[in-house]
Structure 1
Amino acid sequence: MSPDRRRSLFKPCIDLHDGKVKQIVGGTLSDAPESLRTNFVATKPPAHYAELYREHELEGGHVIMLGKGNTDAAKEALAAWPGGLQVGGGINDQNCQEWIEAGAGKVIVTSFLFPDAKLSLERLEKMSTLVGKENLVVDVSCRRKADRWFVAMDKWQRITEMEVCKESLDLLSKYCSEFLIHAADVEGLCQGIDEELVSKLGGWVTIPTTYAGGAKSVSDLELVDRLSNGKVDLTYGSSLDIFGGTLVKFEELVVYNAIAKKAMIV
């Protein structure tokens, strides 16, 4: 690989549900426990994964609190690598600074920005002012409607009025330093990424962006790199061996990142 442009990288995650590290089929996450489909429940604590990522210098990973009862678990992960991880799930203007003080490199916000499923520019501006643009990630995780995507909130069950497109991302990027985008319809299925969405994002985004949803092979990193021209990074979940998966080995992703980073050094 020639050092002519940025390369897509693997970005790790720690998804928390009921205080444990889990991998969940995204479209089944709701307030109805009987509808939940879980691919993996860890026997190891959140700090184990944070320490693993720290050991391999996998910066910029996200800790997501899926519902209540995850505060202590999230703080445990952040304490294991202060400044190395981002945190999201229930972040708002009342607690964002607390999470930065708890060790989050950045805070991730979604639902708070969309009262009545409409973007509140006032809330976005306030969050950006409170923690600083450089410390704010906007989660524009989405669900697909025909050939368009719309931001989804409240465990990805409520569709907002905001379409994920160049215009909306340009607006949001004025107030944040990064995007996190789960393709909720394919999250946890291990049936492949939403290639069309990744390709679109490559043409739309102007700030660092991480995509999550459906990754099932190490080669998906090369696919995302090609489709987005290196502008979008990729998260693996249920397919990864450290989360009970059989399709992707964590060590292979570590090696890929090392090679990609070396290629970006001129």
Structure 2
Amino acid sequence: MILYPAIDLKDGKAVRLLRGDMDKATVFNDDPAAQALEFMASGCEWLHLVDLNGAFAGEPVNAAAVEAILKQTQTPAQLGGGIRDMATIEMWLSKGLARVILGTVAVEKPELVREAAKAFPGKIAVGIDAKDGKVATKGWAEVTDVDAVELAKSFENDGVAAIIYTDINRDGAMQGPNVEYTAAMANAVTIPVIASGGVSSLDDLKALRDCGAPLNGAISGRALYDGALDLKQALDTLKG
């Protein structure tokens, strides 16, 4: 199982939000590229990047910070937030991004997900962010009637590289992940599922690893910044 350290970008800085609230942002590093290098030095296999402003704006906003990370690190990175058309997908992949994450458009324009997954095999992930099992879009500002597991299943045969499932109620709250629902999603599809939201300790990672579902990995942010989770120790635990 892969551990994806998260770098959430707001106004060019690495931050963490509480349950997706842009007004409840804590700045952890003024230099996101330096943060990425720290994670890389600990041996991480991937980086998880989110353009928070972009998620609300519907277009890239923190592009300079993302590009600085891509230029200064060799670790594969995936990015979500504000990627809502083929031109933006192509732009990011041309700059060296390993994988783009499509969230809002997965609900509003699922045909774009299918087209992109076909055009760029292995490089398109779907971000499914849910509150009480229902998908939220536009930076989590709008909760839809779409069931999260059903949305994941709708992309089952389209070549999607991964599904990143975030439980909004747990995100940034240091309360542990929603293991049961994440496992249910992973067991419902053959697409690799990455857990996000609430991973705050080694015990949380072990619970996901041992949940009985074939999870690809887990994303952690605040716990790494707060020191509640030691990245190197966590990586060693997941390899063991």
TM-score (norm 1): 0.79
Is 1:214–2:198 an aligned residue pair? yes
1:139 pairs with one of 127, 134, 138:
127
One of 4, 11, 33 as aligned partner of 2:4? 11
- SS state of the match for residue 77, structure 1? helix
Cα root mean square deviation, aligned: 2.0
Q: Distance in 2 between matches of 1:198 and 1:122?
A: 25
Instruction: Assess, with a 3 A threshold, how the Cα gap between structure 1 residues 178 and 13 changes in structure 2: closer, same or farther.
Output: same
Q: After the TM superposition, which segments of 4 or more aligned residues of structure 1 sit over 4 Å from their partners?
A: none
Identity of aligned residues (%): 21
2:155 to 172, 182, 185: 172
Count of aligned positions: 232
Match of residue 231, structure 2, among 224, 244, 250: 250
Determine if contact 1:47/1:77 at 8 Å carries over to the other structure: yes
Measure how far apart 1:50 and its partner are: 2.5
Match among 35, 52, 68 for residue 66 of structure 1: 52
Q: Do the aligned partners of residues 200 and 103 (structure 1) sit closer, same or farther apart at CA in structure 2, a change above 3 Å counting?
A: same
Structure 1 CA distance for aligned equivalents of residues 157 and 129 of structure 2: 18
Task: Please say if 1:39 is aligned against 2:23.
Answer: no
User: CA separation of 1:222/1:230 partners in 2, compared to 1, >3 Å: closer, same or farther?
Assistant: farther
> Unaligned 5+ residue runs, structure 2?
55-60
Counterparts of 1:149-228 in structure 2, within 5 Å, are 149-165=133-149, 167-175=150-158, 176-228=160-212
Please tell me whether the aligned partners of residues 9 and 62 of structure 2 are also in contact (alpha carbons under 8 angstroms).
yes
Q: CA–CA distance in 2 between the matches of 1:111 and 1:202?
A: 20
Secondary structure (helix, strand or coil) at the match of 1:67 reads helix
The 3-state SS of whatever aligns with 2:221 is coil
Q: For structure 1, which runs of at least 5 residues remain unmatched after alignment?
A: 1-7, 30-35, 260-266
Deviation at 1:196, TM superposition (A): 2.2
Indicate whether 1:87 and 2:68 are aligned.
no
Question: What are the Cα deviations for residues 88-138 of structure 1, in whole angstroms up to 9, with x where unaligned?
Answer: 1111222111100111001111113333xxxx33222232244x1311011
Give the TM-score of the pair, scaled to structure 2: 0.87
Higher relative contact order (CA 8 A, sep 6+): 1
Provide the residue aligned with 2:110 in structure 1.
121
CA deviation profile, 1:178-219 (whole Å, cap 9, x unmatched) = 111111111001011113212312322312221111122111
8 Å contact kept, 1:50–1:78: no
